[in-house]
Structure 1
Amino acid sequence: MDYLSRYPKSALFVASERTAERVAVKVSNRVFSLESVFDFDGERIRVNLESVKQSLIDNRVFSKAAEKERRPRRSSRLEATAKIKDELISHLIDARDHAVSTRYSEGEAKLLDRPTQKDIAKLTGLTTTSVNRCFTDPANHEIRHIYEVLDDVEKIVTYSGSLRRDGITAAD
């Protein structure tokens, strides 16, 4: 029982209510009987984890903050993808304006330098690793397509995809 005192936030599961009562007076840890956690209805065994979780919260073994579930990684990847897409579209609009402007003023359309993944990371506030993961994600074909368009002046000038900056569609 001394071993348990080194882990004050640990929970102890014992076989019966009677054993739980006897052990609870000897340790400072929360003690649960398996009889109180598992129910058998004749066909299947059901686990009542909600009562265990609530008991741990009530006894301040862990806080409500620790109870919050982590956001799935996919959700944060979607947010990162949206930031990258917005930045690429913004750059595409600027690149198209620049190409059209230089075509009229100099007789030849010129490219703006395409941002590197490191540049995109700085502009979006993401890490370079996150940007790279978004680019290599098979589901993100649209950002890869826009990124490829940024390297070809004719594609930039003739790009017919949806271009939005601050919710306003750019003129084609």
Structure 2
Amino acid sequence: MGLFALACSLGFFLTAGSCVETDVGAPCNLAQNATYVGKNDPNCPSKEEANVEEHRSCFEFSPSREDLAAGGDKEYVSFGAAECDNLTCVRSKGEPVPETDEAPNGTCSGECITDQDCSSEDGKFVCRELFLDQAFLTQLRENLTEEEYARYFGRIQNTKFCARAE
């Protein structure tokens, strides 16, 4: 009887760990690249003095809503999204363009191995390669120092992320 109880307990603990809730599919915002464009604007300080928060009109941000509309076939992966558990925000191709620049333009994601890693409330996410390919990523890991790789790719170990099913 003791062996049976141990087996049941072990089975319970092994299956309990597989029921992890994720935020895959939750709305998020892609990180934007700010480019100074205020050189000829008398209301803008110099590039060195301009602050993105205080002088927002002196910068262009990409991807913008126009970029997203023009590049409907592009996919974006943005790292460092604080609103996502895995700090990864993804925009899958074909997603609707947000109504405003402030509206969420992506969904929380994370690295994955299989579709089971991408469970979400709406169930429309799969595990697939989004950028680069695994061979190229492996080549970079072999040719860059650990510091260089970490600077450009952080903790990324593979090219598969949870994204909307095509």
TM, length-normalised to structure 2: 0.26
Higher Rg of the two aligned structures: 1
Write 1 or 2 for the structure with the bigger share of strand: 2
Question: Where is the helix percentage greater, Structure 1 or Structure 2?
Answer: 1
